[in-house]
Every structure is written in C-alpha cells, then in structure tokens.
A and B are shown apart, each in its own frame.
Chain A
Amino acid sequence: MAYLSTSNSNVVAICSCVPKHIEKTADYTHISPEERELFAKTTGIIERRVADEDVACSDLCFSAAKHLIDKFNCAEEIDIVIFVSQSPDYILPATSILLQNRLGLKKDCIAFDINLGCSGYVYGLSVISNLLQSGQLKKGLLLVGDKSTISTTFTDKSTYPLFGDSGTATLIEHSKNKKDWHFNLQSDGSGKDAIIIEHGSCRTPFDKTLEDLAEIEPGISRAKKHLILNGMDVFNFALKEGAANILALYEKSQAKKEDTDYFVLHQANKLINESVRKKLKIDIEKVPYSIDVFGNTSSGSIPLTMCYKMEEVLKSKKLTLLLCGFGVGFSWGSALLETENVYTKLIEYDRA
C-alpha cells in the first residue's frame, strides 16, 4: 500500500459552488418512466446541477475560492493554489495559474494542476498537506471539481443522467499541534477503459469526426469526444477496492474505525456506497449523502457533501473524518484526518 502521513495541517474552511440549473431524473425522456424510476432508486440520483455551456469548472471553483478569500481576508497569504480537475479551461496553460491571477493572489505562489477525477480530493489533500507541513508555506487553496456534463450527451443513458457539475475550494493552513493526517493512495491503470474520453488529445488527436454521433447499443448514442463509462466494471472495481483500502488505512495508522465520526465517500452511486458502507459495518447516520440532489460530481463530491450535509457539525465540533474517493484511472484513496470548527458554505453560481 502507498501509505503516508503528514503533519501540521488544518482545514480552515470549505466552500462548494454548484450551478443553479437543475435537471431531474424524472424528466429524462430518453429512457422510459419505469427505467427512470429504477435508475433513481439504484443510483439515488433524483436531480443534479448542470452548468451553462459558457461556464467552466474553474468559474465554479473561482466563486467558491472568492467566497473564502473574502470571508477570511486572506488573498495576500495564499502560498499555494492546486486545481484538481479533468475539465480544465485549456489543454495549456494550467488552470491553477489562471486562477492565481483571477483571484488576485500574489506572484509568490505555487500553482499547478492535478489531473484526477473521483479520487482527486483525497489526492489533493495529501499533496497540499505535504507542501504545508514544514511551515515554510503557510496557507493553500485546494480547488477541486469538474464540469463532467461537457463530456456527456443526452442520447447516452449510461452517462447523461449520472453526472452533475460542481467546483469547490478548501482553505488549508500550516498549524502546529494538530494530529497527523493519514493517507492510503492506490492506482491501477489496467482499468483505463472503464471510464475514458478516448479522443481529442495526443493519443488520438482531434479529427473531423469527433462530433459525429453513433449508436453503440440501444439507448447509448455518443460521439468520439464523449465520455465512455462501463458501469459494471466501475462497480466491480469499487466493491473490490473501496472498503479494502479503508480497512488497510485503519490498520496501518493504528486508528480505530469506531472512533471515526463520519465517513464521507465519493458520491458514485447509492448502490456502490451502500455496499461499501455495509462491508465496513458502519451506521448509515455516519455516512452522509449528497448524490440525491447533485448526482455524481466527480472529485467535488466529498467537499460538496461536507458543505451540504455537515455544516453545523463541522462548525461546532472536533471530528475525526474518513474520506474516500475512487474512480477513473482506476485511482483511489482514503484519508483519515481530524477537523475542528471548520467553516463551510454551499453557494449557487452567480454570473455577476
């Protein structure tokens, strides 16, 4: 296992930003009403937020980060900006650098992107806490999210009703006398075909047919530029690896599962998450969900769930949290950390 622990990091605040536009599973007319009902029951997705065509993931992350910067008046103090996403503004330059400028941050600021999906928040926390632990850098912004709906199309029932858009910002500071954070991070590239956008980059560059829709099977028509999702293989992967990764982290860190207050899992689909929860023998009260109202929001789903479901408890209590992200790659990992008096806020994207 790739286990590591980091010291001296503290989560100060989390803000999550979602688009205002809501799409309901019940209105997804590409499939029958019966199939919609079964989809909602199995995945747990009742509705999700979809960004307008001209809104990027970075706009959502910008709004979330701006809220925190204004709230904590800390623009001058940010030493690191990391943007974790698979829907960047451009192939180059890195979106984090654009956000450094757009947020009015100083030039003495480390900025880089991490190209990961559903595991991205956990990976991002491991990277930023490593950079902060020595104390040479004091504050960092972890900006995480995706505009997944740019890669899906209405005529593909395997992806279109599943994904929602979000952008999140987590303000993290160097802070002594905090408990160590523990991570178990894993990868398996043999699962690449389970979730993939094959075309439009170096391996299979842009061509004129990128936009052409083709029927793959009944109910699934998509173009080369769109996301391919093999639900069964992803499901198999998550059942096999999710709980095992978490249990290994407890063993290695010598922490006790019983001492964890909340288990915040990537919001993949309800059936997967419930299977992981039951394998771990955790009470449902300890596993918050946001998939019902936001869908699968990729790397943004863990901080979004914290903002949506845990505002009061994060603000008022000292908590031990287990976070677990798993998906595209395959890439997966879990983090065990303590939080205290974390400010959280869920906002809707406002173009103005």
Chain B
Amino acid sequence: MINIEEFTKGLEVEFEDVEPGTLNPDTNFRNIKGWSSMHALIIIAYIDANYNALLNGADLKSAQTIGDLYKITEEKLK
C-alpha cells in the first residue's frame, strides 16, 4: 500500500529546489517555483522508480495537484 504523505515527501526530495515541508497533496505542482517540463519528467521517473507505475503525457495533463498524481498512481496499481 502507498500513502499520500510518503508520496508527497518523496516528490519533494526529487524536486531538489523545493523547500522541505512546502508541498502538500493540495499543491498545484505546476505552481511550484521554477516549474518546467523537466519537472514533469522528474515526476514520471519518481513514480516509476518508487511505485512501479508508469504515467504518460495524458495522465500528467489531467492532473493539477499532487493529490491527483497520487490518485492516478493508485489507479494504475489496481
């Protein structure tokens, strides 16, 4: 089982330039400081490596918040 707190914390570690404790499930990830398409690749790699679920461009497009990413990941693991 995965849990959303660990998911969010792990993502924060991957976004090295984000202050610890600033991300939460409601954070719109596109609003993080310095957001670029590179962050999208980091998200895909993070979820693939840690949860063995592969998100595509459409998945990313449909998500707004970290909570949305978590839900998509959870769905893929079912």
Contacts and interface: CB of A to CB of B under 8 A. Distances in A.
Interface in A43-75: 43
Nearest to A38: B38
Contact of A275 (B36, B37, B39, B45): B45
Interface string A278-319: 100000000000000000000000000000000000000000
B56 interface: yes
Contact of B44 (A32, A230, A235, A269): A235
Contacts of B48: 239, 275
A157 to B, nearest CB: 8
Interface string A233-277: 101100110000000000000000000000000000101000100
Contact of B57 (A34, A35, A233): A233
Contacts, number: 53
Given A35-B36, A278-B49, A232 B44 contact: yes
Nearest to B34: A34
A154 interface: no
Interface in B6-59: 17, 34, 36-42, 44-45, 48-49, 54-57
Contact of B45 (A38, A43, A233, A239): A239
B60 interface: yes
Interface residues of A, number: 21
Interface string A210-242: 000000000000000000001111011001100
- Centre residue among A34, A42, A230 by max chain B CB count within 10 A: A42
Contact of B34 (A35, A269, A271): A35
Nearest to B44: A235
Contacts of A236: 44, 54-57
A278 B46 CA distance: 12
Contacts of A269: 41
Interface of A: 31-32, 34-35, 38-39, 42-43, 158, 230-233, 235-236, 239-240, 269, 271, 275, 278
